[in-house]
Structure formats: C-alpha cells, structure tokens
Amino acid sequence: MSQVAAITRAGETSAPAAHPRLQAALEALQARFDRAFGARDNPWRNLGSLGFFFFWIVAVSGIYVYALFDTSVSGAHASVEAMSAGPTAGLMRSLHRYASDAFVVVMFLHLAKEFVLRRYAGFRWFSWLTGVPLVWLVYASGIGGYWLVWDGLAQYSIIASAVWLDWLPVFSEPLVRNFLTPESVNDRFFSLLMFLHIGIPLLLLLGMWVHIQRVSRPMTNPPRRLALGTLAMLVALSLALPAESNAPADLSRLPGALTFDWWYLFVHPLMDATSPGFLWALSGLFTLGLAALPLLGRGERPPVAHVSLDNCNGCGRCFADCPYAAVVMMPRTDGRRGHRQQAVVLPDLCAACGICAGACPSSTPFRSVEALVTGIDMPQLPVAELRARLERSVAQLTGPVKVVVVGCDCAAEVKALAGPDTTVLSLLCTGMLPPSFIEYALRGGADGVLVTGCLPGDCAYRLGNFWMEERIRGEREPHLRPTVPRERVKVAWAAARDVEELRRALASFRAELSGLGSMQGKAIRRLARQEVAVD
C-alpha cells in the first residue's frame, strides 16, 4: 500500500468493534436478502420499524375484535368463535394473532442484531436499556390476550401464570386460588383482564416511544414495499391458517391436547419442566444480563464534536442532520450580530460520527482563511487536517486516472484500495464529508471521486449515507454544486465484507473515467470559474 495514498488518522479511535464472527454471519445473511429485497427494503435492515408496523396491525385488528368481543365468562369463548366464523372478523382475529407473533420474532431479531453489532454501549446505552422492559411488556400483552378467549389454552395459561406469580412472596392469598373451580371466575374478573389487555399494550407503546427518544428522525415506518409485502404475508397466512380456539375452558377438567402458541407461551411448559423459581431466575438473569451489557461494554469514549463559536453562524444544519439529537440550537452567547442562535453539543448524546462537521457550511475547503476552522468539528479528525491530507495525497497521485476514494471506518475498509493512482480517506462516517471536498479533490487534480460507506438502511450512525446521497444529489444542504461533473462522482455503498465488490466498483469507475479523459486543463479551469460560495 502506498504510504502517501492511504490517509489515516494518527491516534484514531476505532469504530465500535462488533462480535466479528457473528457480524460476518449476519452480513452474509443480510447480503442474501439484499439480493432479493435490495438493501433499502431488506427486512434485516428494518427490524425496528417492522416492530412498530406489527404493533399497529395488532392495535387496529385488536380494536376491531374488541368491538365484537363479549366481556363475560359465559360469552367470551362463544363471541370469539362467532368472529372466526365471519370472513372479515375471522381475518382480523387471525391478523391480530399472527401480527403479535411476528412482533415477537422481529423483536428478538432486532435485539440479536443490535447485540451482534455491539450497539448497547456508549451513547447507545439509553436506547438499549429502555428496550429491555419492552420484552416483558410484549409478553405480558400477548399472554394476557390468550386468556380472553377463555378456552382450554386460556385455562392452562392463566393457571400457569398465577402459579408463577405466586412464587413471589407478595400475595397474601395465592392468585391460583381464583382458578380452582368454575364458580371462582366471574364477569368482573373478565373486565379486569380486558383492562390489562388494553392497558399493558398502551404501556408498551409508551415504552416504544421512550425507546426512540434519543434518536432524531426515528424510522418507525418500514419502506412501503416491505410494509406491503409483510402485510400480504400476514393476510395470506391468516387465510391459509385461520386462528382457532381450543374447547371452552372448564376448570373442573383438564384442557387436553392444546393448539399452542409457542412464540408466547413457551414459558409455561418450561416452568412445568423446571419450577417457578427456575423460571424467575432465568427471566431475571436474562433481564439483568441485558440491562448490564451497557456497563460491561463501556470503553474509552471518543472525543465528541466541538463548536467553534467564531465560525458558527447558527444555521442549524448540524442540528438538522445529527442522527442522535446531540446538537441543539441555543440563544447566542457571544453577542455576535446577525446571528441569533448557536449550536451546542450535548456530550452524553454525541456519537462522535462527525456528520455535523459534514453538514456545516463552514467546513468547505475553499475558505481562504489562514487556519481552516469550521463551525463544528471533530477533534480526532478536524476538517483542516482532512483538507491538508487530501491536498498532499492528491498531489502525489500518479497514473493516467487518479481517483480519491472516500469511505468510513464502519463499512468496507477502503485502505485496501490504496495505490499509486488511488488515495483513500477513511472517515468516522461517510456523512462527515462536506460535499465541497469532492469538488476540491477534482480541482486539485483527481479525475474522479468514489464515495462509499455502509449499505442503505445500515449506516452505523443511522443517517450518514442517506444524508451523503442527498447532498450529492443536491437535495440537502450543504449540497454538491451542480457544476461538478456528476460522471466523475460515483457512489458505491459496501458493507464490511464487500471489499472485493468495492474493488470491482472502483475498477469499473476507473474505466468510465478513462473514457472521459483527464481532469486537467479545460475541465479544471471551467470548474474553477464557477464561484464557490463561502460563508
């Protein structure tokens, strides 16, 4: 590798290290789904938003089913059976069931994926920790729903749940004694169950809202095609295998062989095979283990973004682009006229991704100030340092087609692409790149700029690649000027395992560039004639 060509940071802080083997397996799996769905619609990259989507399906179908439900011991089972007999009500009941099951599946996949990517420590601790109680709320909502049908499964589940709760030394009269004989259950008890089955999901929704509080622009809706596809799948499943009840509950008899929802109710047979104490210990350890992960994963925090008030005009672009709401706009403290606000970084929330630096209009390398200082910058890789390194390395590029590759530490490692005719910049996040740097590289002698980073929907800092694309397309400020020849700019997203794919993309780009000729003489002069607006 050319020492000149590979621009790396001295004393750099590495990207969050994932569990390498598990991450490789996850990426391989995602890559398979990418081929079918495309990266943007890949369900593996939209697990959180799918969770929200399934919640709303459960809520809407639940409201429909509730309207037809008889809240009484004698009428509950019959009313549910009557629903199953009707085409619309039967479909809604089945959707209610299968969307709830799908919710559990995506919840655990979401949890597993975030664990594999070590997204539980550092600035992400809040989202992780607030996600832990959601597992309990999802199960409390789902299991409670099965009781309302008041069939054999409800009978078995409610008694097993009561035995489990009775293990805690908090009830003066054991709960299970409420389910000894048929006479012990009454309509008022059913009203209580209904209250719980509405109240707990509302608590769950509140918990989901808290869960996403530390991310700005949370993606709570999956892409349209994915949403339609999963909804169609649930409808097809509901039609092919309509949800059915077991025989009505009879506390004087055992329920017999039950159709059993293992997604939710597996805990009961597990308790039967062990003991209530074992199940409490297991669920307690699971919960505490998850809750403790942010503590175990604590390491040295990278330096957070820093605001230079003299160079901040309070435009709010860093505030708009920060994926974690770590930048807020506050009233000006330096009395500078003409600017009412200033950016303030909240260090606890800052992910140190540098996206704010890429959003700052002062980050343009065309500024002719003595020392390039931008409005908001990353101490570990200041914009001035980035410009200096880019200038040095572009000047030393040789060969007929000179290319600058800009990537990030979290995706395909761009350092592997460095060579005499290729220089690479590995940033904290691709979104850290001010788009004017692309023009600066071309005017400095590069024939093309290849921008890479995490695949769509999979940015380690959520929005970096998304913002970068928009800036290059001119849809987001600061944008790449329209006069920059777009044929000399290529975007090729690539996951960590896709280095070879990226190498092929670079080769293909180089071939295209060689057809365009060198970025010398006229082309540079034409580009240079366009005045560059510098704030």
Query: What does the binding site for other proteins look like in residue numbers (CB under 8 A)?
Result: 33, 35-38, 97-98, 101-102, 105, 156, 163, 166, 169, 172-174, 176-177, 180-181, 229-230, 232-233, 236-237, 240-241, 243-244, 251-263, 269, 272
Nearest approach, Cβ of 241 to other proteins (angstroms)? 5
DSSP summary character for residue 433: S
Q: What crossing angle do the helices spanning 87-116 and 224-240 adopt, rounded to 10°?
A: 130
Encoded amino acid at 353, one letter: C
Nearest to other proteins of 156, 440 (CB atom): 156
Q: Residue 350 contacts by C-beta under 8 Å, 6 or more apart in sequence?
A: 123, 304, 305, 324, 326
Nearest approach, Cβ of 371 to other proteins (angstroms)? 51
Nearest-angstrom CA–CA distance, 498 and 34: 13
Nearest to other proteins of 60, 175 (CB atom): 175
Nearest approach, Cβ of 497 to other proteins (angstroms)? 20
Q: What crossing angle do the helices spanning 276-296 and 125-148 adopt, rounded to 10°?
A: 160
Nearest to other proteins of 10, 36 (CB atom): 36
Nearest to other proteins of 135, 251 (CB atom): 251
Instruction: Please state the length of the chain.
Output: 535
Whether residue 461 contacts residue 353, with contact meaning beta carbons closer than 8 Å, is answered with yes
Nearest to other proteins of 244, 391 (CB atom): 244
- The stretches of 322-382 forming alpha helices (DSSP H) are 355-359
And the tokens for 168? 């805690």
Nearest to other proteins of 105, 328 (CB atom): 105
Distance from the Cα of residue 329 to its chain's centroid: 25
Nearest to other proteins of 147, 437 (CB atom): 147
Nearest to other proteins of 138, 480 (CB atom): 138
Task: Name the residue among 517, 522, 526 with its Cα closest to residue 401.
Answer: 517
Nearest approach, Cβ of 109 to other proteins (angstroms)? 11
What angle is formed at CA 403 by the lines to CA 402 and CA 408, rounded to 5 degrees?
Answer: 155
Nearest approach, Cβ of 431 to other proteins (angstroms)? 28
3-state secondary structure at position 248: strand
Nearest approach, Cβ of 61 to other proteins (angstroms)? 15
Nearest approach, Cβ of 76 to other proteins (angstroms)? 20
3-state secondary structure at position 490: strand
Nearest approach, Cβ of 182 to other proteins (angstroms)? 9
Nearest to other proteins of 60, 176 (CB atom): 176
| β-bridge pairing 403-408 and 376-377 | unpaired
Whether residue 443 contacts residue 480, with contact meaning beta carbons closer than 8 Å, is answered with no
DSSP summary character for residue 317: H
Q: What crossing angle do the helices spanning 152-166 and 276-296 adopt, rounded to 10°?
A: 70
Task: Name the residue among 339, 298, 267, 245 with its Cα closest to residue 129.
Answer: 298
Nearest to other proteins of 75, 229 (CB atom): 229
Nearest-angstrom CA–CA distance, 71 and 356: 54
Query: Tokens 């366009």 correspond to what residue?
Result: 530
